[in-house]
Structure 1
Amino acid sequence: MYKSGPPPPYESPPYAPPGYSQTVGGVPPANANGPTIVTTIVPLGPGSTHTICPHCHAEIDTTTKTEPGMIAYISGVVIALMGCWLGCCLIPCCIDECMDVHHSCPNCKAYLGRYRR
């Protein structure tokens, strides 16, 4: 069973999870890399979004480009299976509600993300 006496000393795990920092004596460790920058994630929508570019740190309105999304391809396959394969199956690729919107920075041209329908 249990031996009498003090409990065994605490052993730290063999690895530390990402973002883990240990404090000693209640004082957080000094950051050797300089100040910490905290960013918030701005949700991307179907239109241009006002945000700060994480690459060039400029305040921007994103540029958008639309491309057919998964819904357009699935709808086209369903239409083709129903017998309308002479071009009607391509109609979903021309409808804005079936398109994914890709956002990029107009300043540094960095890709910022995609809004999926």
Structure 2
Amino acid sequence: MSPAVGPKPCTLFCPNCSQRVTTRVKSKSTTKTHILALILCCLMCWPCACCLYCTKLARNSNHYCPNCKAFVGTYKR
């Protein structure tokens, strides 16, 4: 079971290395991001579609342990 994580780095005990760490967060585009971008492009709003990939608005936040680099959890938007 992964710990509850949010959109920003959080302090927790890593389930892999059992150390107290502040997670490293990477944003990742999802299928939802791509579908929203496609819809915006079809509506001739391509600048808005580009913004989806430049901001964290429609992207998930994946949390990783900085010590052992293990995946800790995902915050879905």
Question: Please, what TM-score do these two structures have when normalized by structure 2?
Answer: 0.82
Aligned-residue offset at 1:47: 0.6
Aligned residues between the structures: 77
Larger-Rg structure: 1
Considering only aligned residues, what root-mean-square deviation do their CA atoms show, in Å? 1.9
| Residue deviations 1:37-65 (CA, integer Å, cap 9, x gap) | xxx75211101111111111101111111
AA partner of residue 80 (structure 1): C
Higher fraction of helix: 2
Match of 2:7 in 1: 46
Which ranges in structure 2 are unaligned for 5 or more consecutive residues? Answer: none
Partner of 2:40: 79
Q: Is 43-52 or 61-70 further displaced after alignment?
A: 61-70
Please tell me whether the aligned partners of residues 40 and 49 of structure 2 are also in contact (alpha carbons under 8 angstroms): yes
Task: Choose the corresponding residue for 1:65, options 18, 26, 42.
Answer: 26
Q: Distance between the aligned counterparts of 1:104 and 1:56, measured in 2? A: 12
Counterpart contact for 1:69–1:116, Cα < 8 Å = no
Structure with more strand by fraction: 2
SS in 2 for 1:51: strand
Gaps of 5+ in 1: 1-39
Secondary structure of the 1:96 match is coil
What are the Cα deviations for residues 49-92 of structure 1, in whole angstroms up to 9, with x where unaligned?
Answer: 1111111110111111112233321210111111345x553221
With normalisation by structure 1, the TM-score equals 0.57
Higher relative contact order (CA 8 A, sep 6+): 2
Cα separation, 2, equivalents of 1:73 and 1:59 = 35
Give the match for residue 89 of structure 1: 49
